[in-house]
Amino acid sequence: MNSSIKNALTFSTVEPSGGLRAAMDKGRAEIIAEVRASGIRGRGGAGFPTSVKWNLAAAAKSDRKFVVCNADEGEPGTFKDRVILSEYAGLVFDGMTIAAYAIGATTGILYLRAEYTYLREHLEKVLAERRAKGLLGQGVCGKDDFELDIQIRMGAGAYICGEETALIESMEGQRGEPRNRPPFPVDTGFTGRPTAVNNVETLAWVACIFARGADWFKSVGTGKSAGLKLFSVSGDCKAPGVYEFPMGITVASLLEAVGGQDAKAVQIGGASGYCVPAGEFTRTIAYEDIATGGSIIVIGRERDMLKVAENFMEFFADESCGQCTPCRLGNGKLLEGIHLLQQGRCSMQYLRELCSLGETMQLASKCGLGQSSPNALLSIVKHFQSEIMGRIPAAAAAARE
């Protein structure tokens, strides 16, 4: 058992290829209907209903279609996909196979982030076993009309390639940069053909849904956020690691489970997520309240919130692909602003200007990176204004002492 797993995961109780065989007994439309009934939404963080994505890809007309598993787990503070891929790869490939059958794809591609290269050997072994067992290739699970092979493509270390259209560009051998949307990948994806891009965890849950039934999944969680979810918990808590909780869990109960009750704040959703202050720990983690891909970073009492903001902004100022103006230059300006705050040289007026710029970035950036990169700073400014304003320049502070 992987030592980073902290509570009992449903994945370890589901028999590999059980869900797949159950799904193969159904028709294509039935599969999508079952996924819709389960209410599952994308586990990567954006929360797009999986059944809608598959429906669009299934309806698109093309000579070839693709299923892509997005294993470019790059969000700071997220490591649950790594655990899934090393422990439950079979479920992921089950999910990919079900997706491929549902939309009519003949090729599946797992896009693996460069930092997970060490997992490739293991994954290739799992794929080879599946080919040997007839779970891949011509006539998957004895279905003559269904052919599928799954290949692995490696990323090269860019955060932006987790964005699905940048991921597709990268797979095509281009510079990893997001495309204009629309058209969406379900219509015009890899090599211009319909492509369903799903997160590792989403696909693993799909396999579980077919093993246990849509009703089982739907019965957990909240109305709009069905099912269970894995969380990557890190930071100032007693037991960091991977946890499984039902969707809709409050921040407070999550913190209790991980031993981080006296936190000052929690960063939910990684660097691009929101910073939730202690006063709002009664809020729930669900698509209707605070959506997340599963990254939970606990921020302890002694942490400097400006340092936290600086850490995240440095990341974005480096990882922006540089394509669109708001993200290319905006992140740098926000980082500069944090430096000004640290030196006590940022006026209220300029801070307001920076917050307004952050809102423009959220509205006008080309992809999710620039649209979400100001989130952390904006929420820290909102909740911790008194902490971050009025800093005394280090030199002046030293002189005073």
Partner 1 sequence: MSDCKEEPRAPRSTWISQVKTPADAGAIGATVTANIDGQDVKVPMGTTILEAAVKLGIRIPTLCNHADLCVAGVCRVCVVDVEGQRTLQVACAYPIAQPIKVRTHTAKVRNARRHVIDLILSDHYGECYCCARNNNCELQSLAKEYGVDFYRFGHPDKAKYEVDRSSYAVLRDMNKCVLCRRCVRTCIDLQEVGVLEVAHRSHKSKVETFMDKPLGEVICINCGQCINRCPTGALRANDPTYEVWAAIDDPTKHVVIQTAPSPRSAIGECFGLPPGTPMTYQMNTALRYCGFDKVFDTNFTADLTILEEGTELLLRLKKALVDGDKSVKLPQFTSCSPGWVKYIEHFHPDMLDHLSTAKSPQQMFGTLIKTYYAKLNNIDPANIVSVAVMPCSAKKFECNRPEMTSSGYKDVDFGLTCRETAQMISEAGIHLPDIPKSDFDDPFGTATGSGVIFGATGGVMESALRTVIELVTGKKVEQFYDHADIVPIRGFDGVRYAEIQIPDVGPVPDLLKRYFNDWNWLKGATVKVGVCHGTANAKRVLENIRAGGKFAECHFIEFMACPGGCLGGGGQPIPTSPEIRKARANAIYSEDSAYKVRKSHDNPAIWDIYNKFLTDGPCGHISHKLLHTHYTARGKYIIVV
Which residues make up the interface to partner 1 (CB under 8 A)?
59-61, 158, 160, 169, 172, 174-175, 177, 179-180, 182-183, 187-188, 192, 317-326, 328-333, 353, 356-357, 359-360, 362-366, 371
Q: Which is nearer to partner 1, 23 or 335 (CB)?
A: 335
Helix (H, G, I), strand (E, B), or coil: what is residue 110? strand
Q: How far apart are CA 167 and CA 179, in angstroms?
A: 10
- Residue 66, φ and ψ in degrees, nearest 5: -130, 150
Instruction: Give the shortest CB-218-to-partner 1 separation in angstroms.
Output: 26
Q: How far apart are CA 222 and CA 191, in angstroms?
A: 38
Instruction: Give the shortest CB-360-to-partner 1 separation in angstroms.
Output: 4
Q: How many CA atoms lie within 13 A of 142 on its CB side?
A: 6
Q: How far apart are CA 13 and CA 26, in angstroms?
A: 23
Q: Which is nearer to partner 1, 298 or 321 (CB)?
A: 321
Q: How far apart are CA 375 and CA 211, in angstroms?
A: 38
Q: 3-state SS string over 13-27?
A: HCCCCHHHHHHHCCC
Query: Among 184, 176, 178, which Cα is nearest to 156's?
Result: 176
Instruction: Give the shortest CB-54-to-partner 1 separation in angstroms.
Output: 15
Instruction: Give the shortest CB-57-to-partner 1 separation in angstroms.
Output: 12
Q: Which is nearer to partner 1, 134 or 322 (CB)?
A: 322
Q: Which is nearer to partner 1, 129 or 172 (CB)?
A: 172
Instruction: Give the shortest CB-178-to-partner 1 separation in angstroms.
Output: 8
Instruction: Give the shortest CB-191-to-partner 1 separation in angstroms.
Output: 8
Residue 370 CA: distances (Å) to CA of 319, 329, 351, 364: 10, 10, 19, 8
The encoded tokens of residue 104 equal: 């009519």
